[in-house]
Structure 1
Amino acid sequence: MNSPSRVPAEEEEDDHGEVFLDESDIIHEVTVDEEDLPDADEDVEFADEADDSMHIFTGHTGEVFAVACSPTDATLVASGSEDEKGFLWKIGKGDWAFELKGHKDSVSSLAYSTDGQMLASGSLDGIIQIWDISSENLKCTLDGPGGGIEWVRWHPRGHLVLAGSEDASVWMWNADKGAYLNMFSGHGASVTCGDFTPDGKTICTGSDDATLRIWNPRSGENIHVVGGHPYHTEGLTCLAISSDSTLALTGSKDNSVHIVNITSGKVVSSLDSHADSIECIGLATGSPWAATGSMDQKLIIWDLQHSVPRSTCDHESEALNCGQDGVTSLAWLGESRFLATGCMDGKVRLWDSLSGECVRTFSGHSAGVQGISVSANRDYLVSASYDGTARVFEIAEYK
């Protein structure tokens, strides 16, 4: 393709920026085969990439923000998008999809109840909708927050729904009755992460105000506020809670990860090896290991007993925007030693936590991956992307 010749500055000024060419200006004529030209809407960065996905969901018309696999049905997936829609769809069944209608802004978060009977869809319109999976009906609508929903979680043993909002509040409802139960107030900025402890007795929430708050779900009492030195200096981005409900791991924009004793509210350890914002945290099942992903293009596997990195997994990218190829999401593959990461370069990668080696790279997305989820039988990994699709990759050999 010929580039226009650069015109001297004084000529640009004389011609008021207009440049006219005639046949005498042609130096050499090049014949170009049209088949060699990229399509107008083709992203050159991802041109000629292989597509390793075995199923692509294309029902959305905007960026896909969230994806969640059912904990009981290995083929059932929910996805949410900036197109104000959520969908239920099934892996391998491209002719079936159920639209989650009613939201008036981006569907930003999705979560199945532990028993798989219900799905909560949270939106930037401040509304949470509860869907009955077996009947495919809207069971109830939960409202109250004055800002967009940042995340939604279910109680580990019941149909209680917890959600954090951009308006600095946290809300809890009974989904069976569609009833408001409690509002937790105290954060000074958007509540960016949170969850029930696995024993269901406590709530932990993290905020852009750089604090972690620990709550009594029944009374609404704020038991502890964790903030200031030696804790985070910038907003929290992600949170994970140990299976015995004793420790909360939090990641922040300040590049650090801290471990907090939930009972005492004290910072017991700090994990400092990343060089950019922490975007995701995941705890291994059955071993004292944690994984953290960061915008510094690294996944770090941590030995929590000694608070040291076990292995550092570098995400090398061939993409043109290599300065923005951070790790946005991660998921351990059940109780196996493998875990997956979703990245801004559009790739999904599988890692061996013992060796730190990348054992598989899945291509297919033409833009960054926003989130990933693992199917109930561990056969499939589903990813949500800025490219407007959700893709399914087969991972059965890595159980």
Structure 2
Amino acid sequence: MNSRPPEEEEDDEHGEVFLDESDIIHEVNVDEEDLPDVDESGSDAEFSEEPDDSMHIFTGHTGELYTVACSPTDATLVSTGGGDDKGFLWRVGQGDWAFELQGHKDSVSSLAFSTDGQLLASGSLDGIIQIWDIALGNLKCTLDGPSGGIEWVRWHPRGHLVLAGSEDSTVWMWNADRASYLNMFSGHGSSVTCGDFTPDGKTICTGSDDATLRIWNPKGGENIHVVRGHPYHTEGLTCLAISSDSSLALTGSKDSSVHIVNITTGKVVSSLVSHSDSIECIGLAPSSPWAATGGMDQKLIIWDLQHSSPRSTCDHEDGVGCLTWLGGSRFVATGCVDGKVRVWDSLSGDCVRTFTGHSDAIQSVSASANGDFLVSVSLDGTARAFEIGEFR
């Protein structure tokens, strides 16, 4: 696993280059009056004047980045994927090491580590999922079946079963240890944009661009419930989160609404209506009955699920594309279209930290297992790690 991308910078945190006197070839005297005026109003000036708060930058990719996953068991191990058809494994603080996830023929759109941290699944718009053995540092197997691009990959909470949703409106499940196909869940009428196993591992929930949520039995493959029509979403689903007791599914949609569904009955039990544009991300607080939702209306809303009411509204300067709760703490991090990563105190609704460094929209954020780092990936082609140890 010693391969190293040619684009990777030398092992220097800030990429600084120090010159010796002997390196100077010849000096040029410049008359200041000859220099062009600096345009203070230019957009480039905005980005270049801001400090770079990152403690590590990964520059191995040669295109836009779409997805990041931090290992659940190894505090410095990170995987990133993007539009250069590549995925990489790399370590925060070790700029001289990277392992390329080779073989995908289209953008790497989704990455997920198994719960035990032993395996990594990389899903691509080529419709293929590759499973990587972390300890051995090699490709374990390739899983295929879907005829459309992979939208997301998830692992069973207690085993090496992989679930994936495709643009071809199907959902597939495989056993990664045996590289064997287990089930295909068919019924959605459009791209399956979100989905997951329930935390107890007994049920599967999937959301689609067809504005429905489907609840499935993983063993038999049958469809238990279809949630659709009034009072549910009127446009495609974009994101989904499942409560820790496996009883409720929260879904967000392009229609700007969030609905809570009882997984057992398939009934909509509550609606969270405060956003005014497409919901892009949703996350449940690990240690309290709260949810966080982010949208293109430039808002992060913290919800009290017991009362289905907003606790606080956190205003951004641009759309909120991704979020994550930081461990079991009260803090939420958001990745924004303006290229900034912000940390919010869910109790007060205050922004307690803004991390700058990216020059384009943030696509995904992930926190390290020990809570020391937050890694963000951006359309600017870089992944950046920020120190978040103070937000525990």
Q: Same fold (TM over 0.5)?
A: yes
Cα 1:218–1:313 shift into 2, 3 Å: same
- Give the match's secondary structure for 1:396: coil
* 8 Å Cα contact 1:75/1:375 also seen in 2: yes
For residues 287 and 338 of structure 1, the distance between their equivalents in structure 2, rounded to whole angstroms, comes to: 12
Quick check: 1:338 aligned with 2:331?
yes
Matches within 5 A, 1:1-399: 33-34=35-36, 36=38, 43-315=44-316, 317=317, 325-399=318-392
Tell me by how many angstroms 1:44 deviates: 4.3
Deviations 1:48-85 (A, max 9, x none): 11100000000000000000000000000000010000
CA distance in 2, matches of 1:84, 1:43: 28
- Percent identical among aligned pairs is 79
Q: Aligned to 1:263, what secondary structure does the other structure show? A: coil
Q: For 1:235, give the aligned amino acid.
A: G
1:36: how far off? 3.3
Cα offset, 1:336, TM superposition: 0.7
Q: Within 2, Cα distance between the matches of 1:389 and 1:32?
A: 35
Paired residues of 2:287 and 2:329 also in contact (CA < 8 A): no
Secondary structure in structure 2 of the residue aligned to 1:135? coil
> Aligned equivalents of 2:35 and 2:71: distance in 1?
49
Q: Tell me the distance in 1 between the aligned counterparts of 2:134 and 2:390.
A: 29
Residue type matched to 2:83 in 1? E
Give the gaps of 5 or more residues in structure 1: 1-30, 318-324
CA shift, 1:177, in A, is 0.5
Runs of at least 4 residues off by over 3 Å? 34-38, 42-45
Aligned residues: 360
Deviation sequence 1:177-196 (CA, Å, 0-9, x none): 00000000000000000000
Conserved? CA contact 2:39–2:45, under 8 Å: no
Structure 2: how far apart are the matches of 1:378 and 1:111?
18
Q: Distance in 2 between matches of 1:379 and 1:173?
A: 33
Partner deviation per Cα, 1:228-278 (whole Å, 9 max, x = no partner): 000000000000000000000000000000000000000000000001000
Q: 1:336 to 1:102 in 2, by over 3 A?
A: same
Hey, what's the Cα distance between the residues in 1 that align with 2:44 and 2:166? Answer: 35
**TM-score, length-scaled by structure 2:** 0.90
Q: What RMSD, in angstroms, separates the aligned Cα atoms of the two structures?
A: 1.4
Gaps of 5+ in 2: 1-32
Whether the aligned pair in 2 keeps the contact of 1:271 and 1:308 (CA below 8 Å) is yes
Q: Distance in 1 between matches of 2:310 and 2:328?
A: 20
Structure (1 or 2) with the larger CA radius of gyration:
1
- Identify the residue that residue 18 of structure 1 maps to in structure 2: none
Q: Distance in 1 between matches of 2:38 and 2:330?
A: 44
User: Normalising to structure 1: TM-score of the pair?
Assistant: 0.89
- 1:80-100 deviations in whole A, cap 9, x for unaligned? 010000000000000000000
Is the contact made by 1:383 and 1:392 (CA closer than 8 Å) also made in structure 2?
yes
SS of the residue aligned with 2:390?
A: helix
SS at match of 1:43: helix
- Contact 1:160/1:173 (CA < 8 Å) preserved in 2? yes
- What CA distance in whole angstroms lies between the structure 1 residues aligned with 2:37 and 2:64? 29
